[in-house]
Amino acid sequence: MPAVTAKLAYTRRSVVLRRRLGENHLVRGSLALLLGSVGASLTGYVYWVYLSRRFGATVIGEVSALGAVAAVVSLLHAQSVGSSILTRLHALSNGSRRALIRASLLCVGLFASLAGALAASALVLLDAAPTLRNPLFFAVFVSGVAAQSAGATLDAAALALRSSRTSALRNSFSSALRFPLLLLALMLTGPAAGTPAVLTTATVVSILSVVWLLRRLDGLVPPGASGVSLRSVFGDLRRGAWPQAFVALGSGVPAQVLPVIVVALAGANAGGHFSMAWLVGSACFMVPPTVCSSLLTEGSRDLATLGRRVRHASALIALLLVVPVTAYLFAGGRVLAIFGSGFSSGGHAVLAVLAISALPNTVFNIAVSVLRAHERLVTAAKVSMVGGATTVLLAAVLVPLAGGTGAAAGWLVGQLVGAVAGGFACRDLRSPRL
């Protein structure tokens, strides 16, 4: 009898736990996004192992710089507009939701194309991306930036509609297409066309994933009377976009910019080695923002539950990071050796610094999300910019002295500064102003 009673109690607790997890949209949304990201990362590792062994560090450095610039432009535009979607979409009617999504896509597509063209021109002038001297690949790069930004904006819409599985499926869809399309591109262009083939593949995958995601969202948001004009939606987006853009600039852009800084100040070969270590260690700065996206969405729906959701988010981040942080601290060299013996020589220190920075990065991201949920956008922008500016400035100073390790050290100090600034900004969390 005691054994039967214990088994029944265990079964009852399991049912209750599953029910609670099913009702916890923060956990469900975070896990769905992370599972998609993990799947994308696993296929991405295979993809980058292939690239590193076939083309070497110089091509890896140029491809990483192009990818980082595209990610920066995408992040600035998609996050500034996407944050408005995350906090507003759930309260609108179906017709108004469609109007907001259409206006957001139009804004992001237009301005991301312009920013992509300016960034590509700067890379050509700096001689950091010789491939972009070709007008065809210049246009391919700009198209890819616009498509990547549009996809991130639609991901925000799916998360706001509590359909994070849609974003996870898009990540899986993109990852599954990338490697076979790259092989096809190399077959058509020849083995010497490394960077052009990678660039074209990335653009085609981004465009196809946006088309797929648009079709999915059409099913999630049925047609209906809008009740608002596109002009008013554009006005709302413009008023909220500037502080959100500075939040993205400070908290999200430095992680994408550091590989570009290393390439510019230490050369493509050093940039390739740093980029590979940065890619492997990306879990340390990928998990907290992903969980905090769900925290922002759910916290904006009901501020009274924000404190509890912050505790849930903190516990979830700690649970998800304990394994990679331990591996990077004690076996980072062995992990990097998978990509080739040359990549493990200077990358272990970068992985160790990334692992140490996981804690302040978590505090930094949670503090910014809490401020955004309370619509303290200017304060959130200030906190983000302090941490981001510290990261980039220190990296620019330290990279000529210590290479990729100097960039990682700048990242660590920047996250510490951002965490402290965020903690001070959230001191009056219970203030009537909030």
Q: What is the DSSP string of 258-326?
A: HHHHHHHHH-HHHHHHHHHHHHHTTHHHHHHHHHHHHHHHHHHH-GGGHHHHHHHHHHHHHHHHHHHHH
Q: How confident is the model at residue 390 (pLDDT cuts 50, 70, 90)?
A: very high
Distance CA 396, CA 415 (A): 16
Closest CA to 261 of 391, 152, 139, 383: 391
User: What is residue 133's predicted lDDT score, i.e. its pLDDT?
Assistant: 84
Closest CA to 393 of 412, 414, 379: 414
Q: Tell me what the mean pLDDT of segment 58-77 comes to.
A: 75
Closest CA to 214 of 170, 276, 262, 278: 170
403 and 345 Cβ atoms separated by less than 8 Å: no
User: What is residue 223's predicted lDDT score, i.e. its pLDDT?
Assistant: 63
- Chain-centroid distance, C-alpha 305: 25
Q: How confident is the model at residue 421 (pLDDT cuts 50, 70, 90)?
A: very high
User: What is residue 366's predicted lDDT score, i.e. its pLDDT?
Assistant: 92
pLDDT in tens, 152-199: 888 777 777 766 667 667 777 777 777 777 777 777 666 556 777 778
Instruction: Provide the mean pLDDT of the chain.
Output: 75
Tokens encoding 214: 């648009």
Distance CA 106, CA 144 (A): 15
310 and 292 Cβ atoms separated by less than 8 Å: no
Residue 299 has pLDDT above 80, yes or no: no
Tokens encoding 384: 């983000």
User: What is residue 8's predicted lDDT score, i.e. its pLDDT?
Assistant: 46
Give the other-Cβ count within 10 Å of 384's Cβ.
30
User: What is residue 413's predicted lDDT score, i.e. its pLDDT?
Assistant: 94
**Three-state SS at 226:** coil
- Chain-centroid distance, C-alpha 166: 16
Distance CA 386, CA 422 (A): 10
